[in-house]
Amino acid sequence: MSDPVLIIGAGGHAKVLVEALLAEGALIAGMLDADPARLGDSVLGVPVIGDDNTAEDFPRDAVRLVNGIGSIGLPEMRRSIFERFSARGYRFATVVHPSAVVASDVELGAGAQIMAGAVLQPGCRIGDNVIINTRASVDHDCTIGDHTHIAPGVTLSGGVTVGSGCHVGTGATVIQGVRIGDGSVIGAGAVVTKDVAAGLTVVGVPAKVVVR
Ligand code: JB2
């Protein structure tokens, strides 16, 4: 990474990103948090230097942003941060922890975050602002839509398609070829054996619809 990065948010997800960015050798200019009480805190030695308005102190072409908002408000808050700053001309850095295994042909969207121990096999396409969280396993030819969070320990078999704005909960398993529609939520530990239509919440083993 060449340009310094600014991290939006200073909570749990942002802390994990600091660790990944330091491991990548990135230069971190600081963290921005909406909570004024966080000003002056530091996270793994990186200072909280202001709120979102502080980004204006940095020329757009000399800094890249890292979206440190994880799951709060499900994907909406994270999506709105990405869209708001992108519309203002800021660029989002991709983050790939050095311990992640990313096959040579994998396509990573703007601001995609691949956390420690994740595996992305050949043929995968990862959208903008996606989180592939700690130790998630994404097998060959999967497609993950923009703003989706694949939580820690998820297993996606080959050829799975996950739409945009989805949350696939911790430890869930999705068998090969399944398609999950936009805005769906897969409960932690679920085993998904059939396609899931857009906007549904499914839980359990095998996964069943609980919210339409
Ligand atoms: O609009 C905002 C904003 N809204 C909330 N702008 C900025 N710059 N910061 C904002 N925040 C701040 O994000 C809050 O003040 C808070 O400090 C931080 C969110 O931290 P929290 O630890 O509550 O959530 P998180 O999104 O970092 O982590 C969640 O998602 C992760 C993926 C947790 O569920 C984690 O356990 C999970 N690993």
pLDDT in tens, 160-178: 999 999 999 999 999 999 9
DSSP annotation string for 197-212: -TT-EEETTTTEEEE-
According to DSSP, the residues that pair with 64 across neighbouring strands are 5, 91
> What gap in Å lies between CA 31 and CA 48, rounded to an integer?
5
Report the pLDDT value the prediction gives residue 79, as an integer from 0 to 100.
96
Query: Residues 12-36: what's their mean pLDDT?
Result: 97
> What gap in Å lies between CA 78 and CA 23, rounded to an integer?
23
| pLDDT, tens digit, 9 for 90 and up, residues 112-166 | 999 999 999 999 999 999 999 999 999 999 999 999 999 999 999 999 999 999 9
Radius of gyration of the chain (CA): 17
Among protein residues, the one with the nearest Cα to ligand 1's atom 4 is 34
**Which is the catalytic residue, given 140, 147, 149, 167?**
140
How does the average pLDDT of the chain come out, rounded?
96
Binding site membership of 157 for ligand 1 (Cβ less than 6 Å): no
The edge-to-edge listing of strands for the beta sheet with 101-102 is: 101-102, 119-120, 137-138, 155-156, 173-174, 191-192
Report the pLDDT value the prediction gives residue 96, as an integer from 0 to 100.
98
Binding site membership of 9 for ligand 1 (Cβ less than 6 Å): yes
pLDDT over 90 (residue 182): yes
Domains and CATH numbers, the chain: 5-93 (3.40.50.20), 95-206 (2.160.10.10)
The closest of 90, 128, 126 to 8, measured between CA atoms, is: 90
97 is catalytic: no
- Residue 158 CA, ligand 1 centroid: distance in Å: 31
- Residue 34 CA, ligand 1 centroid: distance in Å: 9
Binding site membership of 79 for ligand 1 (Cβ less than 6 Å): no
| pLDDT, tens digit, 9 for 90 and up, residues 57-92 | 999 999 999 999 997 666 789 999 999 999 999 999
